[in-house]
Amino acid sequence: MRLSVILKLSIIGLLVSLISGCGGSSDTPPLGTVSGVVTLDEKPLANAQVTFQPAGGRASVGETDSEGKYTLSYTGAAAGALIGPHQVVIISAVEAFSDESGEGKDRAARPEILPAKYNSKTTLKAEVKAGSNTIDFPLTSK
């Protein structure tokens, strides 16, 4: 009978450790949260796509709001970017969007207004550290 109790407690302990491991474990590598403001000639740049690309690994992406503010996402469920150096690409071109629901969320197309040094031939770099990172990009049209 004593062996039966020890066996039951061992099984319960194993089940508890497996259950708690299901929620707490993740395949997501260490990330730093990243947010900031993108401006063009000292004015907020809205609807721009900001991409942080590490040398090896998944890129993180964010989009600026009407005030030029962005926050990076690593995956749909994980905010941030891999810790370490990144090449940064900022694209201002947007495709037209027509909201057929009638809610007035239409968006006009905009061609690329940024110089190539910020996107196709980017010279932008950023270092992401553990914890919270604020990385602003004061861009110029020249």
40 vs 13, higher pLDDT: 40
Q: Which domains occur in the chain, in start order? A: 31-139 (2.60.40.10)
Name the DSSP class of 91: E
- Structure tokens that stand for 40 in this block: 């063009």
Pairing of β 31-40 and β 131-134: parallel
| Whether pLDDT at 102 is above 80 | no
| Whether pLDDT at 19 is above 70 | no
Verdict on whether the full-model pTM lies above 0.85: no
**pLDDT, the chain, mean:** 84
Question: How large is the average pLDDT for residues 72-77?
Answer: 94
Q: Give the per-residue pLDDT at 26.
A: 62
* Confidence at 47, pLDDT banded by 50, 70, 90: very high
Q: Yes or no: say if 21 and 27 are a contact pair by the CB < 8 Å rule.
A: no
- Structure tokens that stand for 114 in this block: 């940024």
